[in-house]
Structure 1
Amino acid sequence: MTKLLVALVYTGLALLANPVAGFAADFASLAALREGDMKKLVLHESPKEVATETLVDMSDQPRRLSDHAGKWLVVNFWATWCAPCRKEMPTLSALQTAMEAAPVEVITVATGPNPVPAIRKFIDEIGAENLPLYRDPKQKLAREMAVLGLPVTVILDPQGREVARLIGDADWDSDSAVAILEAMSATK
């Protein structure tokens, strides 16, 4: 209940904030919302430009993160062989559902040699069919974004710039994660 109250108060304040100040002015407020696994979330004081490498979807069609411009993106780098990814993926799926009304989207990027049948089996086993599935088979985007281990999750602002990063698995449908993303998406 306290977390919900904090999130509601913060969201209200964010809506009244000076939009020119944007994310940087909200840095301290966002940091205060980090609890549990979200304490590992590193918030950048200023947004960082992101690589523009092309990904592919499950049908080998080219995709880019910029295809989702205008939304806050939670981009999760994972692999079928990654045990922490298996634990984390259902929470990302639940986050996607929880954020349906907000301009937030969860994007998954299977990086490295992850065959399509193995990805489909992984997703079927954990029941995360609501997530967009992209692949980075040659790890070009992962390398450009300095993803050195798995899982890694980055949060991109609507302009496609990285504003936060979490290394390792986390409970992405926790009250803290939802409050942080609701607060971020309330800013311009």
Structure 2
Amino acid sequence: MARKARAAGRLMEAEPKPLPDLTFTDAEGKAHRPADFPGHGLVINLWATWCAPCVAEMPALDRAQAALAADRITVLALSSDRGGRAAVEPFYRDKRIARLGLWLDPRGAAGRALGVRGLPTTVIVDREGRERARLEGEAAWDTPEMLAAVRRLVGPLPQDQARS
């Protein structure tokens, strides 16, 4: 059976703007903010296990995290699942998601702060903590073109932190 082609979202670049104040939690329930990742570029992805396009793009986000880690770019996949850790851990295990951290937004507060209209939505944040681009819908985050766009948008790694 031929696989039906999926419509992918388009990365919409904009003038840099400060992120709103937003919080999310780790698997243990500790609160975090984007500011907890100083000097990192961020790929903030809002998703849920019940969202088919979200599920489809999670392996690509996992591979993107592997490709971007050395550049100090962190993929923050914030799950909107109300079941929190209990819903996401088995999903990660079943889908073999190994490189993404377990980040939670079960009440949707981060999504509301970012003005998210639907899932999945991904926001690219530069090293200065400013939103640079947004993509609504599913994307192939691990393609060379998308990885290059993310690297360009977050900006170069400072020389004192560059890979040796």
TM-score > 0.5, shorter chain as reference: yes
How many residues align? The count is: 151
Q: Does 1:123 align with 2:97?
A: no
Q: Report the TM-score, using the length of structure 2 for normalisation.
A: 0.85
Among candidates 70, 80, 83, match of residue 101 of structure 1 = 70
Deviation string, structure 1 residues 67-123 (Cα, Å, up to 9, x no partner): 012111011000111111111000001001111221211111012513322101111
1:160 to 105, 110, 129: 129
**How far did 1:55 drift?**
1.2
Contact 2:42 2:124 in 1 (8 A): yes
How far apart in 2 are the matches of 1:159 and 1:153?
18
CA offsets 1:146-180 (integer angstroms, 9 cap, x no match): 11110000000112111000000100001111111
Written as runs of structure 1 = structure 2, the 5 A alignment for 1:1-188 is 37=8, 40-44=10-14, 46-184=15-153, 185-186=155-156
- 2:136 is matched by which residue type in structure 1? I
**CA separation in 2, counterparts of 1:117 and 1:53?**
23
Uncovered stretches (5+) of structure 1, i.e. residues with no partner: 1-35
CA deviation after TM superposition for structure 1 residue 143, in Å = 0.6
Q: Which runs of 5+ in 2 are unaligned?
A: 1-6, 159-164
Q: 8 Å contact 1:152–1:165 — kept in the other structure? A: yes
Name the SS for the 1:105 alignment partner: strand
How far off is 1:187 after superposition? 7.5
Q: Following TM superposition, by how much is the alpha carbon of 1:66 offset from its aligned partner in structure 2, in angstroms? A: 1.1
Q: Pick the structure with greater CA Rg.
A: 1
The answer to whether the 8 A contact 1:79-1:114 is kept is no
The sequence identity of aligned pairs, in percent, is 35
How far 1:186 sits from its partner (Å)? Answer: 2.3
- Output the CA distance in 1 between the equivalents of 2:64 and 2:22: 26
Which one-letter code corresponds to 1:149 in the other structure?
G
Runs (4+) off by over 4 Å: none
Judged with a 3 Å threshold, the aligned counterparts in structure 2 of structure 1 residues 118 and 187 are, in CA distance, closer, same or farther, namely closer
Offset, 1:182: 2.7
Q: Whose helix proportion is higher, 1 or 2?
A: 1
**Structure 1 contact 56–63 (Cα < 8 Å) conserved:** yes
RMSD after superposition = 1.8
SS at 2:79 equivalent: strand
